[in-house]
């Protein structure tokens, strides 16, 4: 399998030759919160698939719902003129779930990048329909991650994901992120840093001209950029600034929706109602590629009351509102609520965060520990804690490798070790992740 993989599979987010140099782990099974590889080695999944398997891998009601849907109606398009009963039922459930976020309509997609693309397009179109066609620019945060379609890559805050594909969308501007460990202001106080980033946002809006900006897109807690939770003042202030200038706020909750932060949504944790919210990942817990952009009443009404014809939508995917995805999402939502996974995320997340802080006390190589918002945590590794000098990538990989041999799959992203396990894991599983990481650090 390793040889065949190297000769025939190109892996996303990897150099094509990586498979020869560092053959990937071949996962052949998964049950509960554990995965098994081709050699029969079983570990706790500290990654949760890819931040998406919130309910673990053995969710019988979801499997049953998918099987029943496959028998009844495996596929039909929901493009204008037809729909299916499943997506209607799901939209009503989502409307209920996202009511506290002020979101009431669902535009279905087939994943996170599609949700971002949809939201960016809806934002521009919203302004056109309102008679403000000059609003075409987008703002986002440095270190933000918004998927890999061309729009999403353009607002991506990490230049590594942009430069190789340029020219991308013009008119995208990236604001400093409230990243306390490293920032251009050398500010270590989270509240003061939030103020400086907000000032940078105001300055950029003034420089660009508010009337040229369609939307600001942000993750409530930055995920792929290395788990960066902003100070609590930050997102509410962004909301206020956007409202003041007529700029739509898009919350990219592809990771954070459905309980990962210990709240049902990241926006709700900060008391913010966005205009549009991107969801995907845990909406189907990995069982089916699926997503939805949730839309506020105020935005929806502008489209619905349009008489100019500008709101006619030339956007959608063959698999938008796939009935099997919708059936999976309905069952996942029911399980998510029945198990109240947000509370376990908060409790186990606090244990994990405390355990990681204890590790930092023992290993100098851990420069920063980030978490405190449910089950998303990161360790940023450095070669020198005083100077924060970057660490050799091979050493980060070594920690991951030994942690895996010791019982837990963890994820490496640049200098960070990222943890986003299923939200249903038990305290003992948290301990396995921590002891495996300890073994990893001891091996250095
Ligand atoms: N937005 C965010 C915040 C994400 O974390 C991701 C994926 N990690 C995406 C968008 C893209 O989602 P997908 O990989 O499903 O296209």
Distance CA 401, CA 409 (A): 9
Residue at which a domain ends, from 311, 338, 365: 338
Distance CA 375, CA 425 (A): 10
Over residues 146-174, mean pLDDT: 96
Residue-level pLDDT at 268: 98
Q: Is pTM beyond 0.95 here?
A: yes
| The ligand 1 atom nearest the CA atom of 278 | 1
Residue-level pLDDT at 17: 87
Spacing, Cα 224 to ligand 1 middle (Å): 8
Over residues 214-223, mean pLDDT: 98
400: in domain: yes
Spacing, Cα 293 to ligand 1 middle (Å): 13
Spacing, Cα 305 to ligand 1 middle (Å): 32
Alpha-carbon 137 to chain mean position:
22
Which of 249, 332, 335, 344 lies closest to 295 in space, CA to CA? Answer: 249
For residue 145, the domain's CATH number is 3.40.640.10
State what percent of residues in the chain have pLDDT above 90.
96
ipTM: 0.99
Residues 334, 344: one domain? no
Residue-level pLDDT at 310: 87
**Shortest-distance Cα residue to atom 9 of ligand 1:** 147
Of 47, 54, 113, which is best to mutate to test ligand 1, by the most ligand atoms within 8 angstroms of its C-beta?
Answer: 113
Residue-level pLDDT at 228: 98
Residue-level pLDDT at 19: 85
- Summarize pLDDT for 30-51 with one digit per residue, the tens: 999 999 999 999 999 999 999 9
Distance CA 282, CA 285 (A): 4
pLDDT surpassing 90 at residue 442:
yes
pLDDT confidence bin for 312, thresholds 50/70/90:
confident
Residues 290, 390: one domain? no
Residues 170, 233: one domain? yes
Range of the domain at 417: 19-55+340-442
**Shortest-distance Cα residue to atom 6 of ligand 1:** 147
Residue-level pLDDT at 22: 86
Residue-level pLDDT at 73: 98
| The ligand 1 atom nearest the CA atom of 224 | 5
11: in domain: no
Q: Which residues of 377-397 are buried (b: 16+ CB within 10 A; e: fewer)?
A: bbbbbbeeeeeeeebeeebbe
Spacing, Cα 306 to ligand 1 middle (Å): 31
Over residues 411-421, mean pLDDT: 97
Spacing, Cα 412 to ligand 1 middle (Å): 16
Residue-level pLDDT at 38: 97
Nearby residues of 237 by Cβ (< 8 Å), 6 or more positions away: 194, 198
Residue at which a domain ends, from 293, 322, 338: 338
Nearby residues of 163 by Cβ (< 8 Å), 6 or more positions away: none
Over residues 151-177, mean pLDDT: 96
- Summarize pLDDT for 349-377 with one digit per residue, the tens: 999 999 999 999 999 999 999 999 999 99
Spacing, Cα 144 to ligand 1 middle (Å): 10
State what percent of residues in the chain have pLDDT above 70.
100
10: in domain: no
pLDDT surpassing 90 at residue 420:
yes
Which structure tokens are listed for 69?
């849907």
Residues 273, 403: one domain? no
Spacing, Cα 442 to ligand 1 middle (Å): 33
Over residues 378-407, mean pLDDT: 97
13: in domain: no
For residue 371, the domain's CATH number is 3.90.1150.10
Of 154, 254, 282, which is best to mutate to test ligand 1, by the most ligand atoms within 8 angstroms of its C-beta?
Answer: 254
Over residues 271-290, mean pLDDT: 98
Spacing, Cα 112 to ligand 1 middle (Å): 4
Spacing, Cα 254 to ligand 1 middle (Å): 6
| The ligand 1 atom nearest the CA atom of 289 | 15
Average pLDDT across the chain, whole number:
97
Residues with CB under 6 A from ligand 1: 111-113, 116, 145-147, 219, 223-224, 252, 254-255, 280
| The ligand 1 atom nearest the CA atom of 256 | 3
Q: Are 410 and 417 in contact (CB under 8 A)?
A: yes
Residue-level pLDDT at 39: 96
pLDDT surpassing 90 at residue 178:
yes
Residue-level pLDDT at 20: 85
pLDDT surpassing 90 at residue 18:
no
pLDDT surpassing 90 at residue 16:
no
Residues 330, 344: one domain? no
Of 117, 177, 224, which is best to mutate to test ligand 1, by the most ligand atoms within 8 angstroms of its C-beta?
Answer: 224
Spacing, Cα 260 to ligand 1 middle (Å): 14
| The ligand 1 atom nearest the CA atom of 51 | 8
Alpha-carbon 55 to chain mean position:
16
**Shortest-distance Cα residue to atom 7 of ligand 1:** 147
């Amino acid at each position: 399998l390793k040889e065949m993989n190297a000769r025939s599979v190109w892996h996303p987010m990897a150099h094509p030759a990586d498979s020869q140099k560092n053959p990937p782990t071949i996962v052949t099974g998964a049950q509960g919160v554990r995965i098994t590889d081709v050699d029969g080695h079983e570990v706790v999944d500290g990654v949760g698939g890819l931040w998406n398997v919130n309910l673990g891998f053995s969710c019988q009601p979801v499997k049953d719902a998918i099987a029943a849907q496959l028998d009844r109606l495996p596929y039909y398009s929901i493009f204008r003129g037809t729909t299916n009963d499943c997506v209607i039922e799901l939209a009503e459930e989502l409307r209920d779930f996202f009511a506290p976020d002020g979101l009431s309509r669902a535009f279905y997609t087939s994943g996170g990048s599609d949700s971002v693309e949809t939201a960016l397009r809806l934002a521009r179109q919203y302004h056109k329909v309102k008679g403000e066609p000059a609003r075409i620019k987008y703002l986002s945060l440095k270190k933000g991650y918004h998927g890999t379609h061309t729009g999403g890559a353009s607002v991506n805050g990490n230049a590594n994901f942009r430069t190789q594909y340029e020219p991308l969308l013009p008119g995208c501007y990236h604001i400093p992120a409230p990243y306390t460990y490293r920032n251009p202001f050398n500010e270590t106080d989270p509240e003061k840093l939030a103020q400086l980033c907000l000032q940078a946002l105001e300055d950029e809006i003034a420089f660009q001209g508010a009337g040229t900006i369609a939307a600001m897109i942000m993750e409530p807690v930055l995920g792929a950029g290395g788990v960066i939770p902003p100070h609590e003042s930050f997102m509410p202030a962004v909301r206020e600034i956007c409202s003041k200038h007529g700029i739509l706020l898009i919350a990219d909750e592809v990771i954070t929706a459905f309980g990962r932060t210990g709240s049902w949504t990241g926006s709700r944790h900060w008391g913010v109602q966005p205009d549009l919210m991107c969801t995907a990942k845990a909406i189907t817990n990995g069982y089916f590629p699926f997503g939805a952009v949730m839309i506020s009443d105020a935005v929806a009404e502008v489209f619905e009351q349009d008489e100019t014809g500008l709101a006619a939508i030339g956007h959608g995917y063959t698999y938008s509102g796939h009935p099997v995805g919708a059936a999976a999402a309905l069952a996942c939502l029911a399980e998510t609520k029945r198990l109240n996974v947000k509370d376990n995320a908060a409790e186990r997340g606090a244990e994990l965060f405390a355990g990681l802080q204890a590790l930092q006390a023992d290993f100098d190589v851990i420069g920063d520990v980030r978490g405190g918002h449910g089950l998303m945590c990161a360790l940023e590794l450095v070669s020198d804690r005083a100077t924060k000098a970057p660490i050799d990538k091979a050493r980060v990989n070594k920690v991951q490798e030994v942690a895996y041999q010791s019982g837990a799959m963890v994820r490496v992203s640049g200098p960070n070790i990222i943890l986003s396990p299923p939200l249903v894991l038990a305290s003992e599983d948290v301990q396995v992740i921590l002891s495996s990481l300890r073994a990893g650090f001891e091996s250095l």
